Amino acid sequence: MSIWRAPLTPEQLTERGRRSLSGYLGIRITETGADFLRATMPVNEHTQQPFGVLHGGASVALAETVGSLASMMCVDTERSMCLGQDINANHLRAVSSGTVTATARPFHLGARSHVWHIEIRDEQERLVCVSRLTMAVVDRRPNTAKPA
């Protein structure tokens, strides 16, 4: 059984972030499963730190992007919006090139909060980073813009 209330295609989700940080970093949503969302990000001059390896902040941006989009798909966006409340990350392996893939799965999907487990892996499926993201689910105010 799917957890998604508002299922969107990977193309729709990628387009949503095209003009934001995720678009600049080259993040692409690649797959939705019954209980997960997956995205990729290149390891290049936009996502590396000065020593030529994947920047930890870029990994966190990837984790928050995939977790935030997943939360959004679990709520009625006419009534609620999801806002990042807390994120942590453990960086386990350096990556200097290629593509990394993040997979978000829920630990908890409540009425007022969601907690996501995000794993980031390299092209050899080695674990690069693990992250936990807590999202606040809040009522949408009447003047709050809806996602495009």
Secondary structure of the chain in HEC code, one letter for each residue = CCCCCCCCCHHHHHHHCCCCHHHHHCCEEEEECCCCEEEEEECCCCCECCCCCECHHHHHHHHHHHHHHHHHCCCCCCCEEEEEEEEEEEECCCCCCCEEEEEEEEEEECCCEEEEEEEEECCCCCEEEEEEEEEEEEECCCCCCCCC
Catalytic residue among 64, 78, 119, 123: 64
Confidence of residue 148 (pLDDT cuts 50, 70, 90): low
Stretch 54-75: mean pLDDT, rounded?
98
Q: Is the pLDDT of residue 146 over 90?
A: no
Stretch 78-97: mean pLDDT, rounded?
97
Stretch 21-48: mean pLDDT, rounded?
97
Q: What pLDDT is recorded for position 30?
A: 98
Q: Can you give the residue ranges of every domain in the chain? A: 10-139
Average pLDDT value over all residues in the chain: 95
Stretch 39-54: mean pLDDT, rounded?
97
| Architecture in CATH for domain 10-139 | Roll (3.10)
To the query of whether residue 119 is one of the catalytic residues in this protein, the response is no
pTM confidence score: 0.94
Stretch 78-100: mean pLDDT, rounded?
97
